[in-house]
């Protein structure tokens, strides 16, 4: 059972709803330690830039650089004096349409649950249902671990979800990006072909089918090395070259709609490109091939190139 990382209350108008905050995500990132070639752990020291001497932690102060080499030193007490007032409330300031918020503004997601044994379930359920029926989300502020957050509160299934948000001045505008294409004229037939390709590749969203294949390959690599197996390092595949746009669109549509062989949504049941299973492996990405190789328990898949994955899958099928 997950543990709450913060407890307080949602406050809007004169309504107060005691709640607890839970992390909605967890990282599966693999952590590596730095070692010498002899296997000794590498540790870092705090060293003064000028003298090269190690500095004890208690002798270190915080400084903000206002000019090159010129710092303003700030004490912990001074920083504490300007910290946001410690509070146990999530103060709702506005309700807005969910469609008005660009997802770029969201940072990290949490779940909000009603606090138990205090009668919070009824007002919590009322807020959840009202927000769901109006398609409104709440914009709120709260303080956690001495930091003030801007947040969105919205229905997520049978719970309220809370997304911490970037403030407006933390989001870069598109004008920071080089080579923005602007208004490029494209032919109607090209747009029609692109729309046809998008439609042919459209499917129902199923989050679980998109696995982190890189993490799986890293774990397999570590396991193989721990077992003393030899690892073959493959060269990076070259970036594909641009082909004629219309020809590429036409070939993609034909492949996705099943012309010339069994493919997605074709229902023809035919095989393609020599595959015994009827799957056109050539049209799959390397990550998709790796996922299928994992399902088929293909040995040595982590070090295989795309061509080798295709060959191994055809052999396994």
Q: What is the pLDDT of residues 52-85, one digit of tens each?
A: 899 998 899 999 999 988 999 998 888 877 776 6
Specify the pLDDT at position 255: 75
135 contacts 98 by C-beta, under 8 angstroms: yes
Specify the pLDDT at position 76: 83
Specify the pLDDT at position 175: 80
Shared-domain flag, residues 22 and 154: yes
90 contacts 151 by C-beta, under 8 angstroms: yes
Shared-domain flag, residues 23 and 166: yes
Buried b (16+ CB within 10 A) or exposed e, 27-36: eeeeeeeeee
Total count of domains within the chain:
2
Note whether residue 41 is domain-resident: no
Query: By C-alpha distance, which of 138, 245, 254 is closest to 186?
Result: 245
Q: Residue 165 is inside which H or E element, if any?
A: strand 159-165
| DSSP state at residue 258 | T
Q: Which CATH number covers residue 113? A: 2.40.290.10
Shared-domain flag, residues 151 and 193: no
Specify the pLDDT at position 73: 92
Note whether residue 226 is domain-resident: yes
Estimate the share of the chain in helix, then strand, then coil, as percent rounded to the nearest 5.
35, 25, 45
Split at pLDDT 50, 70, 90, the class of 235 is low
Shared-domain flag, residues 149 and 292: no
Specify the pLDDT at position 112: 96
pLDDT, greater one: 240 or 141 = 141
Specify the pLDDT at position 178: 85
Shared-domain flag, residues 165 and 193: no
Note whether residue 205 is domain-resident: no
151 contacts 162 by C-beta, under 8 angstroms: yes
Shared-domain flag, residues 12 and 144: yes
Note whether residue 49 is domain-resident: no
Please write the tens of the pLDDT for every residue from 245-271. Answer: 777 777 777 777 665 444 444 333 333
Note whether residue 126 is domain-resident: yes
Shared-domain flag, residues 192 and 115: no
Note whether residue 70 is domain-resident: no
- Distance, in Å, from the CA atom of 96 to the CA atom of 44, rounded to the nearest integer, reads 48
Note whether residue 162 is domain-resident: yes
Shared-domain flag, residues 111 and 14: yes
| DSSP for 40-72, written as a single string | PBP----B-TTT--B--GGG--EEEEEETTEEE
Residue numbers of the domain that contains 284: 188-198+210-316
Residues 106-116, mean pLDDT to the nearest whole number? 94
Specify the pLDDT at position 90: 93
Note whether residue 72 is domain-resident: no
């Amino acid at each position: 059972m997950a543990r709450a990382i913060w407890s307080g209350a949602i406050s809007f108008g004169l309504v107060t709803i005691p709640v607890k905050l839970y992390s909605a995500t967890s990282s599966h990132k693999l952590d590596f330690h730095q070692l010498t070639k002899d296997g000794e752990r590498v540790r870092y020291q705090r060293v003064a830039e000028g003298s090269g001497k190690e500095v004890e932690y208690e002798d270190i102060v915080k400084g903000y650089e206002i000019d090159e080499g010129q710092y303003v030193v700030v004490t912990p007490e001074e920083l504490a004096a300007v910290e946001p007032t410690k509070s146990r409330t999530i103060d709702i300031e506005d309700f807005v349409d969910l469609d008005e918020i660009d997802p770029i503004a969201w940072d990290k997601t949490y779940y909000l649950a009603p606090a138990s044994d205090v009668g919070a379930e009824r007002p919590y359920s009322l807020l959840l249902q009202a927000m769901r029926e109006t398609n409104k989300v709440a914009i709120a502020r709260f303080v956690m671990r001495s930091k003030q957050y801007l947040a969105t509160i919205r229905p997520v299934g049978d719970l309220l979800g809370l997304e911490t948000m970037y403030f407006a001045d933390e989001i870069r505008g598109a004008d920071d990006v080089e080579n923005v294409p602007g208004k490029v004229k494209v032919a109607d037939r090209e747009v029609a072909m692109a729309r046809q390709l998008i439609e042919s590749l459209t499917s129902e969203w199923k989050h679980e089918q998109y696995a982190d294949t890189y993490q799986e390959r890293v774990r397999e690599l570590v396991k193989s090395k721990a077992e003393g197996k030899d690892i073959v390092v493959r060269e990076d595949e070259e970036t594909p070259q641009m082909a004629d746009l219309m020809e590429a669109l036409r070939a993609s549509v034909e492949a996705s709609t099943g012309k010339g062989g069994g493919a997605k949504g074709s229902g023809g049941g035919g095989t393609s490109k020599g595959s015994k299973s009827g799957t056109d492996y050539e049209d799959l990405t390397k990550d998709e091939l790796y996922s299928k190789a994992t399902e088929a328990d293909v040995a040595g898949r982590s070090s295989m190139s795309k061509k080798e994955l295709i060959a191994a899958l055809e052999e396994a099928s």
